[in-house]
Chains A and B, each alone.
Chain A
Amino acid sequence: MEKTIDKTGVRIGMWIFLYSEIILFGGLFVLYAVYFHAFPDDFASGGKELNRIFGTANTLVLLFSSFTVAASITAIQRSKKIQSMTLLVISILCGLIFLINKYFEWGAKFEHGLYPNSEHLLEADPGFIIFFGLYYTITGLHGLHVIIGMTLLAISLVLVMRNRVSAERYAMLENSGLYWHLVDLIWIFVFPLFYLVL
């Protein structure tokens, strides 16, 4: 039995799923809120340890990639396959740049002995330990989501290449795009909470 695809329904399903992802991070943000309330000073000194230039660069990279993903959806809607694929490749590269940045950032922290359960960190104040515990947990989980998002974009790229995603049928690309926006959105919250904390 051939059925027309109910695009609204697919979108409802995707939005509900995204919502559950937000709740997942919501649990961590609750922890952040409680501990920030308990140790405002330690959190401020923890935030000063983080490199704001790295953080800002990563924010810009992700914001830009959100734009290119959105543009690639518009491109496929107008049947411009090559343009859509180019934009997707740029988005995936942005994700990669983000991860590389993150790698160097984490690496620098590790060199300074700031990682969970390290001797250097355990000598610090409790709030400082918690700050870095949350930092690694949240940015780590976010990094995992970046990887998932890149995988989804890569799958969409292949589907566009094989004409499985087209101007008539682009739900997969659209949903991957939505997921990528979610990854971006979460970072928009993570960035001020850790890098710009006063």
Chain B
Amino acid sequence: MEQVKSFYETPSPPGLTGIKAWLLTHDHKRLALMYLWVVMFWLVLAIFIGLALRLELMFIGETIMPPEIYNSFFTLHGVIMIFLFVIPAIPAIFGNFFLPIQIGADDVFFPRLNLFSWYLYVIGGLTAIVSLFTGDGFADTGWTFYVPFSITTETNVSLTVTAAFILGMSSMLTGLNFVTTVHRMRVKGMGWMQIPLFTWSLYATAWVQILATPVVSITLVLVVLERFLHIGLFDPDKGGDPLLYQHLFWMYSHPAVYIMILPGMGVISEIIPVFSRKAIFGYKGIVVSSMAIAIAGSLVWAHHMYTSGMSDVSVFVFSLLTFLVAIPTAVKVFSWVSTMYKGSILMTPPLLLALLFIYLFSVGGLTGLVLGAAGTDIHVHDTQFVVAHFHFTMFGGTGFAFFAALHYWWPKMFGIMYDFKKAYIGSVLTAVGFIFHYVPMLILGLQGMPRRYFDYLPQFETGNFLAGFGGFLMVAGLMLMFVNLWSSFRQRVQASDDPWGGTTLEWKVPSPPPLHNFVEIPNVMEYPYDFSEVLSKAAQNRG
């Protein structure tokens, strides 16, 4: 095949050189990589903040930090992980890079808006940093900013909230860009049922981003207004109702957890069929379930508020709706498992991570039902059980999907392959550490240990120690994983255009792709997961 210049060698717009070729670029691939490095910075920072929190909790009493710092740290960990890592990670990095390629386009619909979103993201992050060191220190409210505490606390809530506002805008504009791109830029011949599942999941996510983000924006604006003008919209003394804040907040923030998980599910839906060499089981089922999760997930927000003093009718209705979300989620899990059944499975690091995702996410989903049922929720509400459930879905789910996506698309993004053995060890170590870390928390929660507490009673000592121990294992595994990926830049083992035998369009272009993604107009398959060609090629090679 003739040599094509990769996008690294062709700046867009043309004529830009050096750092400008990155900071002013309109190329979705360069922007994706710029997101990658910034997101990784925040991820590593928040990992170590989380580890510090758990180290503090390993032993009774003050271990390494005073209670005020502890409060700020868990807020900081939450704000960074939610707004700067989990929400943007998969859409902004892999979505930006692969959504246009998967639908045969040469860029997103609004390239300049895409660059603007990146700047909003960076500015949002910087605002969060500034809020750390100005005023009376970082917010100590937790990432939910509940009133009345968020209005009365002395700490720098206003700036932290502003950061979240800017980040929300960035994520919404990315969603707007993706929806328009999917509608208007699909290559000729690609109908809705030929779109790869990763792109489908991003499409569903984008709608939730557009639908829900403005609600949290206005809620956060109201928090700032209350702090400066004391209007009293949430203040019972002035006729306001604090419960309304929770409604408005969760009206966004619950759909937001589907913003976080749907792209991860899309990644898994790509990886499983490729390494099973078998068409995905129930393509349409997965598409429909993505949209169903997006819709039903927008109607369940008040299940965070069973103990806040809602009417019994609301509790009943929201509990029922919550259970309904489990159905499309289960459709996906069963589809993945059925895809592997009787497939010819090729074990690779991305597949291992995808399998870990399925296991950990299932535990997260099932513990979610414990919380969705009003009766059991009242027992474990605001305990460590919730923390463990949340991390099983967000870290065991989205986090592992993110790592799987990193390992799956790494050769395509950089044209190089990493060391498999270290990747396996890193993944397993992370997963084992994960279990040690969060299973004790599930038990602690059932025993009644509240979350966000600086200290605890002696009977919780063993569990907290074990969780801390697991935390160290997990961080060691993660660091091994990242260092392994990083060292692939030094070894520079060339990766082929299609190292895995994938069928979607990104595997039909050179690694790394050229500026306009495609050398020739791509040929769209009738069905995106048809592996007959890959299998016959493999049979030929075997001779």
Does the CB pair A1–B232 fall under 8 Å? no
Task: Give min CB distance, A116 to chain B, whole Å.
Answer: 4
Q: Chain A residues near B239: list those with CB within 8 A.
A: 35, 38-39, 42, 125-130
Cβ 8 A contact of B231, one of A16, A23, A117: A117
Task: Give min CB distance, A131 to chain B, whole Å.
Answer: 9
Q: Which secondary structure dominates chain B's binding surface?
A: helix
Q: Chain A residues near B354: list those with CB within 8 A.
A: none
Task: Give min CB distance, B230 to chain A, whole Å.
Answer: 4
For residue B184, CB closer than 8 A to chain A, the reply is yes
For residue A53, CB closer than 8 A to chain B, the reply is no
Cβ 8 A contact of B172, one of A20, A30, A122: A20
Q: Chain A residues near B229: list those with CB within 8 A.
A: 116-117, 136
Q: How long is the Cα–Cα vector from A20 to B183 in the complex, in angstroms?
A: 18
Q: Chain B residues near A40: list those with CB within 8 A.
A: none
Task: Give min CB distance, B241 to chain A, whole Å.
Answer: 7
Task: Give min CB distance, A167 to chain B, whole Å.
Answer: 23
Cβ 8 A contact of A137, one of B180, B183, B185, B222: B222
For residue A113, CB closer than 8 A to chain B, the reply is no
> Interface residue tally of chain A, by bracket?
35 or more
Q: How long is the Cα–Cα vector from A125 to B240 in the complex, in angstroms?
A: 12
Task: Give min CB distance, B195 to chain A, whole Å.
Answer: 17
For residue B218, CB closer than 8 A to chain A, the reply is yes
Task: Give min CB distance, A45 to chain B, whole Å.
Answer: 13
Cβ 8 A contact of A27, one of B214, B230, B231, B241: B214
How many B residues, CB 8 Å from partner?
Answer: 38
For residue B219, CB closer than 8 A to chain A, the reply is yes
Q: Chain B residues near A192: list those with CB within 8 A.
A: none
Return the CB mask of B201-240 against A: 1 if under 8 Å, else 0.
Answer: 0000000001101110111011001000111110001111
For residue B275, CB closer than 8 A to chain A, the reply is no
Task: Give min CB distance, A179 to chain B, whole Å.
Answer: 14
Cβ 8 A contact of A130, one of B211, B214, B240: B240
Q: Which of B147-177 contact A (CB under 8 A)?
A: 172, 176-177
Q: How long is the Cα–Cα vector from A179 to B172 in the complex, in angstroms?
A: 18
Does the CB pair A6–B184 fall under 8 Å? yes
Binding site for A on B (CB under 8 A): 106, 109-110, 113, 172, 176-177, 179-180, 183-185, 210-211, 213-215, 217-219, 221-222, 225, 229-233, 237-241, 244, 247-248, 251, 516
Between A and B, 12 residue pairs with Cβ closer than 8 Å are: A20-B214, A21-B214, A24-B218, A34-B244, A35-B241, A126-B240, A130-B238, A133-B231, A133-B232, A133-B233, A137-B222, A137-B233
Binding site for B on A (CB under 8 A): 1, 6, 8-9, 12-13, 16-17, 19-21, 23-28, 30-31, 34-35, 38-39, 42, 116-117, 122, 125-130, 133-134, 136-137, 141
